[in-house]
Amino acid sequence: MSVLDKVDAATNLAKNNELQLLVFRVSDKSVSAYYAINVFKTREVVESKNHYLTQIPACDPLLEGTIILRGLQIPILNLPKWLNVTLTKEEIKKSNILICDFNGVIIGLRIMSAYRVIKKNWNQMHAPDSYRLKEDGVVMNDTRLEDGSLCLILDYEKLLSQVIPHAMVDVIKDTDALKNIDIPLKLKNGTVLIAEDSKTAQRSLVQIFKNANIDMKLFDNGKKLIDYITSLGEDAKEIPAVITDIEMPEMSGFTVIKLIRSNPHSKEIPIIVNSSMTGANNKREAETLGASGFIDKTKSHNIIPLIISVMR
């Protein structure tokens, strides 16, 4: 769809602590909210009426079925229903399907219409505490459009974990493998710092570190992590490792890497990027900025062996 043609290179934006969002709506109703997704998780927008939907028996109610697009069988998730929005038959006919890529998992999200692509700085993305207090909440953060309208960014990983759980990280997998690995004393006795804003990803990481009996400290965004490291002064040298997502409100993971590497007290800390934005450009940019390793979120069960390998 033409609205996606304006997309710039992901890494050029990230270096400036910026991102691009595809803004869309899930209903034609005037009260319908604006929602957004990082354009680098999207592939295209197709008209629903042009694609035959094959239903799947005994599946999650949010999984409408699958379509065939360029030889791929793509599951279609009912995003309006997840947001408690009921589409009329007429709206369903007029609706579109947003094809997305999460860690190599291709899915389609039913939406009403793509509105436009906007560019934002990560410090223009906000995550009010009200979004975090609800365990069943689906909103991660928000921003404002030019006319002042609120635009909500959803926890798409939570939707995936609910509807297609096998596509997400297996927190139990490879736990036994740690028994045969020598854990460095600095890691065994220290506290790993983690910047991650998705509650779904947070829960996985908490369980992974709990299973490994390694301490960790969690931050809702990169800015909070950087502020904490700065407050430690010379003691920052004792941090065994940092794990950071790329997409976060206030400060992107790329900016986190740059600031850690520019601080004389933290510049030697191993940094692992744990992200669903797994394109070659993002991996290359992370390495160029000074990341020690990169792992996609569906393979987070391997994150501790990766930390150990880069500490050696």
* Positive or negative: CA dihedral 159, 14, 297, 184: negative
What's the confidence (pLDDT) of residue 14? 56
Beta strands in 28-129 (DSSP E): 34-38, 42-47, 63-69, 72-77, 96-102, 105-111, 113-121
What's the confidence (pLDDT) of residue 12? 59
Q: What is the CATH number of the domain that holds 123?
A: 2.40.50.180
> For residue 108, what are the domain limits?
2-167
| Pairing between β-strand 72-77 and β-strand 63-69 as defined by DSSP bridges | antiparallel
Residue 134 pLDDT class (50, 70, 90 cuts): low
Bigger pLDDT: 311 vs 193: 193
Residue 299 pLDDT class (50, 70, 90 cuts): confident
Would the pLDDT of 116 be above 50? yes
- Picking from 167, 196, 222, the residue at the C-terminal end of a domain is 167
186 and 160 within one domain = no
181 and 163 within one domain = no
Q: What is the CATH number of the domain that holds 272?
A: 3.40.50.2300
User: In whole angstroms, how far apart are CA 198 and each of 47, 185, 205?
Assistant: 30, 30, 11
pLDDT, the chain, mean: 86
Would the pLDDT of 104 be above 80? no
SS3 state of residue 103: coil
Would the pLDDT of 276 be above 80? no
286 and 159 within one domain = no
Taking the complete model, does pTM exceed 0.85, yes or no?
no
What's the confidence (pLDDT) of residue 131? 65
What's the confidence (pLDDT) of residue 211? 86
- Rounded mean pLDDT of 180-202? 89
Which phi and psi (to 5°) does residue 248 adopt?
-150, 150
What's the confidence (pLDDT) of residue 7? 41
115 and 8 within one domain = yes
Q: Lowest mean pLDDT: which of 14-23, 37-46, 211-220, 254-263?
A: 14-23
- Rounded mean pLDDT of 261-279? 90
59 and 27 within one domain = yes
User: In whole angstroms, how far apart are CA 164 and each of 111, 138, 160, 173, 222?
Assistant: 19, 16, 5, 17, 28
Would the pLDDT of 279 be above 50? yes
189 and 144 within one domain = no
Would the pLDDT of 175 be above 70? no
SS3 state of residue 206: helix
200 and 153 within one domain = no
What's the confidence (pLDDT) of residue 173? 61
What's the confidence (pLDDT) of residue 177? 61
124 and 77 within one domain = yes
What's the confidence (pLDDT) of residue 178? 67
- Domain count of the fold of the chain: 2
Bigger pLDDT: 63 vs 103: 63
Would the pLDDT of 74 be above 90? yes
What's the confidence (pLDDT) of residue 301? 81
14 and 150 within one domain = yes
User: How far apart are alpha carbons 305 and 177 in whole angstroms?
Assistant: 9
Q: Could you give the percent of the chain with pLDDT greater than 90?
A: 50
Q: Partners of 23 in the beta sheet?
A: 36, 116
- Picking from 142, 167, 192, the residue at the C-terminal end of a domain is 167
210 and 114 within one domain = no
Contact between residue 207 and residue 171 where contact means Cβ atoms under 8 Å apart: yes
Would the pLDDT of 1 be above 80? no
- Rounded mean pLDDT of 86-91? 90
210 and 145 within one domain = no
Helix 199-212 to helix 303-311 angle, to the nearest 10 degrees?
60
| Pairing between β-strand 215-219 and β-strand 150-154 as defined by DSSP bridges | unpaired
What's the confidence (pLDDT) of residue 168? 61
Bigger pLDDT: 134 vs 34: 34
- Rounded mean pLDDT of 71-89? 93
- Picking from 134, 167, 200, the residue at the C-terminal end of a domain is 167
Residue 40 pLDDT class (50, 70, 90 cuts): confident
157 and 139 within one domain = yes
Would the pLDDT of 4 be above 60? no
